[in-house]
Amino acid sequence: MMNVHLMHNNSASNRPVLEVANLKKHFVIGKSFFGGKPLTKLKAVDGVSFAIGAGKTLGLVGESGCGKSTVGKTILRLYNPTEGSIRVLDQEISALKPKAMRDVRRSLQMIFQDPYASLDPQMTVGRIISEALEIHGLPKGQSHASRVKELLSLVGLDPVVANRRPKEFSGGQRQRIGIARALAVEPKVLVCDEPISALDVSIQAQVINLLQRLQDELGLTYLFIAHDLGVVRHFSDRVAVMYLGGIVEIADRDRLYADPLHPYTKALLSAIPVPDPDVEQQRRRILLRGELPSPLNPPLGCRFHTRCPFATDRCREEVPALVAVAPGQEVACHYWQELRGVEGRPNQSILETEK
């Protein structure tokens, strides 16, 4: 089991460092020959809202294709938002010009999913890390070489590797180099886009423990994007569950895992294995049937209704709002009260419960 390191409480921790409100990112797919009007839109992110306090971690989870990574890249302004607000350290950045965004990126950096693709194979490690220092005119009062050595030591690598190239390193070592690059400009917020999913299982815990140690030492705030709810449980203070471009439930970690309210959250959590064989034997596994609908043509009403055995006509017609139902917990479901404690309905074609 991974060790969880919690930040010391302070007054600053109560102030959101990253705030996202009604964030949307729609991609135009094709345009008509006359007038250039879009033929259709892919609604990758469609109204996401959350806030993260200083030194805290929000885990963003969901199936592949639900829009998690698009949220992260839009916050970084790698994609321009279609609509909504993004505030970093109380500064609105959703409409900033590229030159102004460059200054913001001193506070906001990203750790990418694939350590093999995110590092330039033609550059040395030292050059990869120092490039960010040059762009931002850092560091002041010390050479780039000294700062590179300091960063490599910080992520657990020998500074002598600065003259080597990425192909000479393992996947876990490359991800440490990526983390060092992200830390070079002393950011306050890190968007971690599935930073361990491309790594061997034996290496994943090492990288998670490194991120936790860096959070303790540097006071970092994380948006941790993942599909592994087991990892998220040990790493996050709060967890947001995404489905087809929107958040269906968000809560403090312990509350979400102890008392999930949305049918989709229940299904995801039921797939996490329990190390106790006696407990595992008594658990009910909820298996989702059917494919995730296309964001090109999302279902009307509740987007989960095509896979939910509890769906009614109301679910097919009316979009459920994300509302607060308990301290620190919000859910987007018309029938969360009726479904509380229900694991699943048997003999359904869309969602089966197996024992």
Q: pLDDT tens for residues 195-235? A: 999 899 889 999 999 999 999 999 999 999 998 888 898 89
pLDDT at 287: 72
25-29, 77-81, 242-246, 313-317, range with the lowest pLDDT: 25-29
Closest CA to 221 of 76, 90, 73, 54: 54
Which is higher by pLDDT, 202 or 157?
Answer: 157
78-82, 237-241, 299-303, 351-355, range with the lowest pLDDT: 351-355
CA separation for the pair 243, 105 (Å, rounded): 28
Q: At residue 105, does pLDDT exceed 80? A: yes
Residue 102 lies in a domain: no
**What average pLDDT score do residues 115-126 get?**
91
3-17, 48-62, 242-256, 296-310, range with the lowest pLDDT: 3-17
Q: At residue 335, does pLDDT exceed 60? A: yes
CA separation for the pair 265, 246 (Å, rounded): 13
130-144, 191-205, 302-316, range with the lowest pLDDT: 130-144
pLDDT at 275: 59
- Domain holding 321, by residue range, is 261-354
Q: At residue 141, does pLDDT exceed 80? A: no
Residues 12-60 pLDDT 10s: 446 799 999 999 999 988 766 666 666 788 999 999 999 999 999 999 9
pLDDT band at 318 (very low <50, low <70, confident <90, very high): very high
Count Cβ atoms below 10 Å from residue 127 Cβ, excluding itself.
16
Which is higher by pLDDT, 13 or 170?
Answer: 170
pLDDT at 278: 56
User: Could you give the percent of the chain with pLDDT greater than 90?
Assistant: 64
pLDDT at 58: 98
**What average pLDDT score do residues 72-78 get?**
96
pLDDT at 346: 37
- SS3 labels along the chain: CCCCCCCCCCHHHHCEEEEEEEEEEEEEEEECCCCCCEEEEEEEEEEEEEEEECCCEEEEECCCCCCHHHHHHHHCCCCCCCEEEEEECCEECCCCCHHHHHHHCCCEEEECCCCCCCCCCCCCHHHHHHHHHHHCCCCCCCCHHHHHHHHHHHCCCCHHHHHCCHHHCCHHHHHHHHHHHHHCCCCCEEEEECCCCCCCHHHHHHHHHHHHHHHHHHCCEEEEEECCHHHHHHHCCEEEEEECCEEEEEEEHHHHHHCCCCHHHHHHHHCCCCCCHHHHHHCCEEEECCCCCCCCCCCCCCCCHHHCCCCCHHHHHCCCCCEEEECCEEECCCCHHHHCCCCCCCCCCCEEEEC
Residue 238 lies in a domain: no
Residue 289 lies in a domain: yes
Q: Residue 57 is which amino acid?
A: T
pLDDT band at 261 (very low <50, low <70, confident <90, very high): very high
54-63, 173-182, 338-347, range with the lowest pLDDT: 338-347
pLDDT at 355: 31
Residue 335 lies in a domain: yes
15-29, 255-269, 281-295, range with the lowest pLDDT: 281-295
Q: At residue 307, does pLDDT exceed 90? A: yes
**Structural domains in the chain (count):** 1
Residue 65 lies in a domain: no
pLDDT at 354: 35
121-125, 199-203, 332-336, 346-350, range with the lowest pLDDT: 346-350
**What average pLDDT score do residues 246-272 get?**
92
Residue 327 lies in a domain: yes
Q: At residue 122, does pLDDT exceed 50? A: yes
Residue 347 lies in a domain: yes
- As a whole number, the mean pLDDT across the chain is 87
User: Could you give the percent of the chain with pLDDT greater than 70?
Assistant: 85
Residues 6+ apart with CB under 8 A from 226: 59, 60, 61, 68, 194, 196, 197, 232
Residue 166 lies in a domain: no
54-68, 92-106, 280-294, range with the lowest pLDDT: 280-294
pLDDT at 140: 63
pTM of the complete model: 0.87
